Amino acid sequence: MTERPNILFLFSDQHTRKITGCYGDETVHTPNLDRLATSGVTFDNAYTASPLCVPARMALLTGRYPYA
């Protein structure tokens, strides 16, 4: 039997990376997000299917473009 990977996907809703310490912000303190970024994976280039939150979430969950 092949072991399945242990993956935890955190989706920081309505949060821009510009205000996160691990991406260089010196004013806002985000120690928990910084620790997760240091020990995990960060996405430096991302694409969203929609600039609106609900269609973007549905595209993420289903893998389909929300207006198709």
Active site residues: 53
Residue 10 makes CB contacts below 8 A (sequence gap 6+) with 36
Q: Which amino acid is at 28?
A: V
Question: How far is the CA of 58 from the CAs of 8, 10, 30, 51, 53, in angstroms?
Answer: 18, 15, 27, 12, 9
